[in-house]
């Protein structure tokens, strides 16, 4: 039987959001199954969000925040302050060139 290759989490916004989502859920002592029941989001999707495999839509951010009983802006603020957060604009070609120039100095 062939081994399935595990999907690795992305760095950046997805991973930062997932990490903060998991922290908030665990702080409130809410299981993924309870969050599924509160939001209607599939439990495997919740798991993928928390691992940074999937990125949330704005609607999903609001549903998750409501299910965890946290303000969406608090969840997003924590995401931006996460150690995993990398600004999406850092992927733009001009920003990549700036980074390379800084490294070569």
Domains of the chain: 13-104 (1.10.260.40)
Rounded Cα distance, 65 and 21, in Å: 8
The pLDDT of residue 4 is 60
Rounded Cα distance, 10 and 13, in Å: 8
The 10s digit of each residue's pLDDT in 16-65 is 999 999 999 999 999 999 999 999 999 999 999 999 999 999 999 999 99
Buried b / exposed e over 35-51, threshold 16 CB at 10 Å, is bbeebebeeebbebbbb
pTM of the model: 0.72
The 10s digit of each residue's pLDDT in 70-101 is 999 999 999 888 878 877 666 556 555 555 65
Residue 67 DSSP SS3? helix
Residue with tokens 């993928």: 48
């Amino acid at each position: 039987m062939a081994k399935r290759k595990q999907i690795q989490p992305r760095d950046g916004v997805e991973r930062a959001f997932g990490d903060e989502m998991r922290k908030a859920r665990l702080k409130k002592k809410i299981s993924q199954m309870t969050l599924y029941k509160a939001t209607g989001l599939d439990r495997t999707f919740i798991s993928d969000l928390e691992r940074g495999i999937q990125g949330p839509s704005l609607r999903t951010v609001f549903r998750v925040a409501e299910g965890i009983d946290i303000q969406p802006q608090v969840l997003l603020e924590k995401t931006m302050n996460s150690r995993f957060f990398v600004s999406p604009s850092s992927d733009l070609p001009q920003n990549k060139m700036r980074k390379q120039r800084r490294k070569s100095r």
